[in-house]
């Protein structure tokens, strides 16, 4: 049996996403921005962010993975890529669900930088600074979180719980034997 402790409710997430969208618009104005959503975890965040973004936006998708269960494998896998002509000379913002060790973000930063964007920034919903082992930080961050395994609003545990409208911490409960 599992229970979930709510860390950030739907209202708090929506408020913070609106602030991030406004900050991004203040930076880029009417210039076209290519937002790159990392699948699968960042899709809810990316959709809400872009619904609140007032500027000229295009969306691309990358699929990267480094987790199995609750642990990172340390190996970055790129399963869906994008083409250089969609990125070169453009303002680009990578949208991530969570940054912890920084390995995935460093990989993505290098991968996109090689495509020669005009600018490249990172916007993450959650920033787990305490786990960082790579010297990389997101430009925009929704919430800083402690070393917790979080689920919901796109974040999963073995592909479950993504559809929760809030971000929570999965708590394992012991089975009581009779």
Using alpha carbons, select from 79, 77, 111, 80 the residue that is nearest to residue 94: 111
Catalytic residue (choose from 100, 114, 156, 158): 100
- Where do we find the tokens 């600074």? 129
Told to judge if 100 belongs to the known catalytic residues of this protein, a careful annotator would answer: yes
Long-range contacts of the stretch 23-28 (C-beta < 8 A, 24+)? 23/140, 24/49, 24/53, 24/55, 24/93, 24/123, 24/140, 25/53, 25/54, 25/55, 28/55, 28/91
Catalytic residues: 100
């Amino acid at each position: 049996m599992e229970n979930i402790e709510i860390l950030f409710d739907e209202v708090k997430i929506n408020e913070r996403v609106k602030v991030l969208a406004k900050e991004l618009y203040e930076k880029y104005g009417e210039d076209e921005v290519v937002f790159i959503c990392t699948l699968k975890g960042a899709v809810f965040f990316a959709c809400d962010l872009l619904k609140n973004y007032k500027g000229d936006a295009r969306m691309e998708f990358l699929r990267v993975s480094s987790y199995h269960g609750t642990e990172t494998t340390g190996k970055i896998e790129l399963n869906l890529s994008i083409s250089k002509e969609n990125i070169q000379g453009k303002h680009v913002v990578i949208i991530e669900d969570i940054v912890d060790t920084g390995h995935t973000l460093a990989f993505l930063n290098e991968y996109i930088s090689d495509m020669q964007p005009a600018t490249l920034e990172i916007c993450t919903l959650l920033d787990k600074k305490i786990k960082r082992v790579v010297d990389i930080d997101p430009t925009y961050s929704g919430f800083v979180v402690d070393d917790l395994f979080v689920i919901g609003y796109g974040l999963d545990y073995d592909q479950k719980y993504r559809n929760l409208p809030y971000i929570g911490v999965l708590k394992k409960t012991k089975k009581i034997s009779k």
